[in-house]
Chain A
């Protein structure tokens, strides 16, 4: 469990940033891929994750920043309860939708969740209704806040309602994707 206050104190005493304290936590432990086995690609990813971590910390998202740094670098041994418990290994994932490793898995989960709905609609067509995929895009300003995401979702609802004005019985599902 992350002890943020302790990490902040240690970072100050040791003369490093909080980002570096998070990175130290991963690098100083025997991870899934130790530092001395890093390739150039791993180093590029480490540098990129560090930059994203700086942004998360600057926005007060400290625990999320720590999760992002340790994503796929550490693992856990999980042990089942019961008389004959078996243990198995689980990789530590940040589960953040903008993570290059976790994003595709999150998308696959979301797709799996709604695929029965889509299959049902295909199997039970309704006269006058068709299944359509729409892509709505907003301008990339280089920054994204929680309020801007809420504003975008409100705009999506407004656009769909405007598009389907006067039609009864329609529905829509959507997900937001953030690109770089």
Chain B
């Protein structure tokens, strides 16, 4: 993977969605999608040790100015 492509994979921020109206999103930190991908699936998040629920992911700044690709992504981990 080239240097430029590796940069795009850096710094994907993930929050757990609020449990109620009173709560806010919970920041979980920066993670990296699997090799060769620029998005997360529920299985990816599960492998990172996250439990069932809805998560919001923000792609790195490198994706800015793209009208057809939202930097935001919603990922769900279903309860087993």
Which A residues have a C-beta under 8 Å from some C-beta of B?
10, 13-16, 20, 23-25, 27-29, 34-36, 38, 40, 43-44, 46-47
Contacts and interface: CB of A to CB of B under 8 A. Distances in A.
Contacts of B52: none
Given A15-B13, A16-B58, A28-B56, A40 B72 contact: no
Nearest to B66: A47
Contacts of B65: 47
A27 B72 contact: yes
Interface size class of B (residues with CB under 8 A): 10 to 19
Contact of B68 (A15, A28, A40): A40
Interface of chain A, main secondary structure: helix
Interface of B: 13, 15, 17-18, 24-25, 27, 56, 58, 65-70, 72-74
A25 B25 CA distance: 8
A28 B73 CA distance: 10
A69 to B, nearest CB: 11
Nearest to A35: B74
A27 B13 CA distance: 13
A100 B13 CA distance: 30
